Structure 1
Amino acid sequence: MNDIRASVIIPTKNPGMIFQDVLVAVTSQKTDWPFEIIVIDSGSKDGTIEFVKQFPQVSLIEISAIEFGHGRTRNLAISKSNGEFIAVITHDAKPVDCHWLANLVSCAEHDERIAGVFGRHIAYPSASIYTKRELELHFEGFDAFPIVHLQDKSRYSNDVGYRQFLHFFSDNNALIRRSVWETIPYPDVDFAEDQAWAKLIIEAGYHKAYSKAGAVFHSHDYTLFERFQRSFDESYAFRRFFGYILCSDLRSGIRSVSALSWRDINFAKKTGLLKGSPGVVLHAVIDNVMRVFGHYLGAKGDRLPAAIVKRISRDKKLFAQ
């Protein structure tokens, strides 16, 4: 009889040294029940495979880079797992403490209607002040609504913001219920597989939960071009999979840049950052330009030549290496 309560799935691809801390933190989790860890690697060449093999309690699945797909690869790993619950994190998301896994499972146990739980992201201590602030503001928005489900179908049909809030989900740090996954697996998409899955479970009538306590360290200080690439991928995916247009035209883009930059400059004034580190503030303003420009081009991604999309996309480059 299977007594594995939870399975932890970690997809890897050349994660670098940060993954070593992540795997140690995962293996150090304290629970009242057995759990398993599965690493699924898609062609790492940086010593990741050799490092994983040092942990006899960790199962390793190796696939080629060409086989990788955000939804497809996670589905494969889950199909090889045994847990009633499946925690899914990325190779650069480090649990903040030894109770991370127990906290996620406890949140899901609250109600059998909960199909998935996503946990808080905390910026790494070395992250920039604006990266830290962005994550704090984003996840504070879920504190008042730790469990949600589709209550107003009319609003869901007409209010884009409401739809986005209901299906926000991040498998950088998440837990899903196996019994739900068996009928609603991850869609085989090339980006935003987590939110595409959450949309399906919300529309199927399940609940979604947020765990503030089940937190990981996860953040990126993108270069300006990386910010543009990331925003392009996000906008292109959201247009294709959800019908959202994150930036419809240059006029709305200018308004967005102005609003974001005004917010960041005001923050800099209040904290003394504007006087003490004006270069950091200038970088934040240019970052806003790159973010919105990426959203603008991503919304028009279907009209761009495939070669241009491949060149712009950060995600396609990362997993084609």
Structure 2
Amino acid sequence: MKVSVVIPTKNPGRIFRDVLDRVLAQDCPWPYEVLVIDSGSSDGTQDYARAKPGVRLHEIAPEDFGHGRTRNLGASLTTSEYVAFLTHDALPVDNAWLRALVGALEQDPSIAGAFGRHVAYPDASPFTKRDLEVHFDRFSRQPPVVSRKTDPQRYETDQGWRQFLHFYSDNNSCLRRSVWETLPYPDVEFAEDQIWAHRMIEAGYAKAYAPDAVVYHSHDYGVFERFQRSFDESNAFRVLFGYRLNARPVRAFLSIGYLAKRDLAFAWRNRISPFATLKRLSLDVASVSGQMVGAHAPRLPGSLRLSLSRDKRLQRSLPVTTPRWSAEEH
């Protein structure tokens, strides 16, 4: 078997049916299989997957799920040369998605993993569409295959470049089994994909960007949801990578000002309604504020950390103390 597509699921709703149907309709010159790992869905997901020819369903208990752990399980249950991962709400845009993803890996045997582009669902807000476009365009402006050897001096001195190198999204990705066998995913509750990418870059492997392997994947969050997600991300990045995002109040204030100016200009150019614009400005404040508070999470009482978190399991798994390595503020 050339490729195994592994999709972890937990109550994804109807969108998963479109995802699974699109994956099964991929136009590929080689055989591939689909493995769904469900952790206790009660919305008919298991029955739908079970009824599809060519799909294997593996069920686990909800408490056994882990972002890295479950993906390792998926890889271990397959024997293909490559293992592709999708989340249950990431819908391939076309029937060439898998071919493009694998093609990015096959450019060079030193490439350990490849990730594809995300675009917003058609009903997403104009700001969400713009954010995803800007985010992934920066990868199109760099070489499609990068490693430590791309710019060794910059890797040693530029933290922003190192962050760029270890960005990796297993919402839409594919890895080389031979590399995974020596470098499996870490068993963590957050950023398992970026930690894995950091480790394989450090080990000397390369990473590929597949701009033609496109999925619809986006979320429009409420204001408090955005604060919570930013708090979780900032606290986790503090622990995992030593980054302190918008830790200083002055820096946070300047960041909010920059985002507000950018989004007001975007709203004016695109004639976005005052209500939608006001919501976006509120989301800017929530995002930066969540990062600032998350950067100082060790100073907060445990009960408050949990109340500010969207992912309680993640917060319980993170150590309270500051990482041993030197942290830089942004």
Given the two structures, how large is their TM-score scaled by the length of structure 1? 0.94
| Structure 1 position 307 matched with structure 2 position 306 | no
Q: Which SS does the other structure have where 2:148 is aligned?
A: coil
Following the alignment from structure 1 to structure 2, what is the Cα–Cα distance between the partners of residues 204 and 241? 18
Q: What is aligned with 2:189? A: 190
Contact kept? 1:310, 1:317, Cα under 8 Å: no
Kept in 2, the 8 Å contact 1:246–1:295? The answer is: yes
**Counterpart residue number, 1:107:** 104
Q: How far apart are the structure 2 equivalents of 1:310 and 1:73?
A: 24
Amino acid at match of 2:86: I
Q: Which residue of 1 aligns with 2:241?
A: 242
In structure 2, the residue matched to 1:78 is 75
1:125 maps to a residue whose letter is P
Q: Provide the identity percentage.
A: 54
Letter in 1 for 2:298: D
For the aligned residue pairs, the C-alpha RMSD in angstroms reads 1.7
Number of residue pairs aligned between Structure 1 and Structure 2: 314
One-letter amino acid of the counterpart of residue 6, structure 1: V
Aligned residue runs from structure 1 range 1-321, under 5 A? 4-145=1-142, 146-151=144-149, 152-273=151-272, 277-316=273-312
- 8 A contact 1:70–1:188 mirrored in 2: yes
Distance across 1 between alignment mates of 2:304 and 2:82: 40
Query: After the TM superposition, which segments of 4 or more aligned residues of structure 1 sit over 4 Å from their partners?
Result: none
Task: Tell me the alpha carbon deviations over residues 196-244 of structure 1, each in whole angstroms, 9 at most, x when there is no partner.
Answer: 0000011111110101100100000111111111111211111111101
**Take 1:50 and 1:175, find their aligned partners in 2: how far apart are those partners?**
26
After TM superposition, give the deviation of residue 153 of structure 1 in Å: 4.3
Instruction: Describe the SS at the equivalent of 2:237.
Output: helix
Structure 1 match to 2:322: none
Name the CA distance, whole Å, in 1 between partners of 2:120 and 2:229.
Answer: 17
Q: Distance in 2 between matches of 1:37 and 1:309?
A: 39
Unpaired runs of at least 5, structure 2: 317-330
Task: Write the distance in 2 (CA, Å) between the matches of 1:62 and 1:309.
Answer: 32
Deviations 1:177-198 (A, max 9, x none): 1000000000111100000000
- SS of equivalent residue, structure 2 residue 41: coil
Relative distance call for 1:309 and 1:61 in structure 2 (3 A) is farther
Residues 94 and 298 of structure 1: CA distance in aligned 2, closer, same or farther (over 3 Å)? same
Change (3 A) 1:62 1:304: farther
**For the residues of structure 2 that align with 1:53 and 1:302, how far apart are their CA atoms?**
45
Superposed displacement of residue 154, structure 1: 4.3
Alpha-carbon displacement from aligned partner over 1:38-75 (angstroms, at most 9, x marks no partner):
11111111111111111131111111111111101110
- Relative to structure 2, which stretch is displaced further, 125-134 or 303-312? 303-312
2:320 maps to none
Matched residues in 1 for 2:131 and 2:37: separation? 30
- Aligned to 1:119, the other structure's residue is in SS state strand
After superposition, the Cα gap between the structure-2 partners of 1:189 and 1:249, relative to the gap in structure 1 and judged at 3 Å, is same
Letter in 2 for 1:88: F
Using the TM superposition, give the Cα deviation of residue 308 of structure 1 relative to its aligned residue in structure 2, in angstroms: 3.1
Deviations 1:113-162 (A, max 9, x none): 11010100010001000000000000000012211111344432432211
Unaligned residue ranges in structure 1 (runs of 5+): none
Equivalents in 2 of 1:309, 1:62: separation in Å?
32
Work out the CA distance in 2 between the residues paired with 1:125 and 1:68: 31
SS of alignment partner, residue 183 of structure 2: coil
Distance 1:126 1:279, change over 3 A: same
